Amino acid sequence: MSNLHQIGKNISKAVTALLLVAVVSGCSATFRNHGYMPPNEDVDLIVVGKDTRETVAAAIGKPGTAGLLVDSGYYYVRSRFKHYLYNAPQEIDREVLAVSFTEKGVVENIERFGLEDGRVVVLERRVTDSNIKGVGFLRQLFGSIGRIDVAEQLTGR
């Protein structure tokens, strides 16, 4: 009986240790990186007033984000987020490289921005309005009953 009792104690200790590790790991933060930032050595090779869109794309790659206006600029964005188990992700670092071009496609300016330079920008959400404004669910449901042609549905014509 003593040997069986000792095995039970060892299993109990192992389960307790596993639970403790699970609880502690659940409270620790995880980090996620998003985006792409070209290396400084590659960005330093770009010459303002000489390089073009094509040479920039060849030197540091095409960006994931371009300007809203056609041919306005290249934007490289890298962010680092801290996640806890039940909390919303928190952005702890952001870097933006903005390469602007002239109308002829020549590099006009190169700027870097960090999280401390950032502003919260509220994006406009464009949603197409539906034509069913003021019509309830039941009215929509029962309103389509007379419009269904059963014969057409059965014959496929």
| Cβ partners under 8 Å of residue 106, min gap 6 | 49, 50, 51, 52
Which of 82, 94, 98, 97 is closest to 118 using CA atoms?
A: 94
Rounded average pLDDT over 33-47:
90
Name the one residue in this structure whose structure tokens are 């995880």.
Answer: 30
Q: How confident is the model at residue 134 (pLDDT cuts 50, 70, 90)?
A: low
With beta carbons less than 8 A apart as the criterion, state whether 68 and 77 touch.
Answer: no
- pTM score, whole prediction: 0.57
CA distance 37 to 64: 10
CB crowding 14-44: b at 16 or more within 10 Å, else e: eeeeeeeeeeeeeeeeeeeeebebbeeeebe
| Residue 3 confidence (pLDDT) | 73
Statement: residue 14 has pLDDT above 60: yes
How many residues are recorded in the chain?
A: 157
CA distance 75 to 37: 9
Q: How confident is the model at residue 94 (pLDDT cuts 50, 70, 90)?
A: confident
Share of the chain above pLDDT 90, in %: 10
pLDDT tens column, 42-74: 998 999 999 998 999 999 988 876 555 556 788
